[in-house]
Each structure stands twice: as C-alpha cells, then as structure tokens.
Structure 1
Amino acid sequence: MFKQTQLHQEFLDLEHHMRLLDRQLADALQRIRHGSSPDLVEKAKQDERHLLTELDRLMTRMRAIEGQLLQIQKSATRH
C-alpha cells in the first residue's frame, strides 16, 4: 500500500508540473508569434523545444506510473 501511495503522490506532483509546463509552452508560443525581434523569436523557439522535450519525459513517466498502479490493482483483485 505504501508503494501505491508513493506512486499516487508522484503522479499528482507530475500533473502539477505538467500544468506549469503547459503555461510556459503557451508563453513561448506567444513569444514566437509576437516576438519583437528575430533573436527573441529564436530564443522562444529554443525554449519551446526544451519545454516539449521536458513535457515528453514527464508524460512518459506518468504513463509508467499509471501502468504500475494498474499492476498493483490487478494483483490486489487476484487475492
């Protein structure tokens, strides 16, 4: 049960971080669309690439946690 609680908490933490990344991505996209100079637009594009990479890693971990929680549920229903 402790492992399940830890996984739930990690998942909640990741969801919180994902919302933060979403806001940062929205900001980067806004800067890409409305940047006042080519340098600022390029920086925003770099930020977007970095944030998308981080979001991909985060979502991969979230899927792994979901899988682990499903396995815990399945093993609990077998007993």
Structure 2
Amino acid sequence: MVRRFFLGGTLLQAVALALKRPLRSWDPVVLKENQLHQEFLDLERSMRLLDMRLADALRRIRHGSCADQIEKAKQDEKALLIELDRLMTRMRAIEGQLLQYQKAATRH
C-alpha cells in the first residue's frame, strides 16, 4: 500500500475524518483509494517496460541494416506510442480521482 502523509497521518485517515466516519479497512472509500493506488503503480511498471520497448524500436530504426527491419521498427514504434498514450491517459484519470479523494479529505 502506498501511503501519502497528510497532516501527521495518512491520506486515508484524512478521508475518514472528512467523512466523519471511523477508518475501517473495509470502508468503500478506503478500498477504492487503495485500488487506485495499486492500479497507478501497475501502470507505472507497465510504462517503464513500454519505454524500454520503445527505445529498442527507435534503436532499430536508427541502426537497422535492412529496409524491411526499419519498416517493421517504425510500425512497432507507432503501435507502442498508441499504447503509451492510452497508458498515460489512464494514469492522468487515476491521478484526478486521487486528487478528488484528497480534496474531500481536506474539506471540514
């Protein structure tokens, strides 16, 4: 679990305080936030792997010896960029949802 500290406690505790409910591990707000954090971490991991594959495609484009290999590398690059865009869009959406939780936690 990723913990973010908020006024001496975790963000989850801040959300519980804002909702004026005790913090419970089964609380839907807590569960949803934990799921979002985990999904974000998984997407970061996927993005690192995608970056490595993209770097390989670029290397093949620059240093390819055969026109067919270079063309294949360009197709790979295009597909990887589309996947990277999808990944980053989802990451931004998750960040927005987590910010909503943080805003709710800071309202009194």
TM over 0.5: yes
- Are residues 1:27 and 2:68 paired? no
The higher radius of gyration belongs to: 2
1:26-58: CA deviation from partner (whole Å, max 9, x where unpaired) = 000000001110000000000000000000000
- 2:35 is matched with 6
Unaligned 5+ segments in structure 1 are none
Unaligned 5+ segments in structure 2 are 1-29
- 2:104 is matched with 75
Per the TM alignment, residue 78 of structure 1 is displaced from its structure 2 partner at its CA by: 1.3
- 2:45 is matched with 16
Structure 1: which 4+ aligned runs deviate by more than 2 Å? none
- Structure with a larger share of its residues in helix: 1
- 1:42 is matched with 71
1:55 to 84, 93, 104: 84
Name the CA distance, whole Å, in 2 between partners of 1:22 and 1:76. Answer: 34
Percent identical among aligned pairs is: 77
- Give the TM-score normalised by the residue count of structure 1: 0.97
Per the TM alignment, residue 76 of structure 1 is displaced from its structure 2 partner at its CA by: 1.4
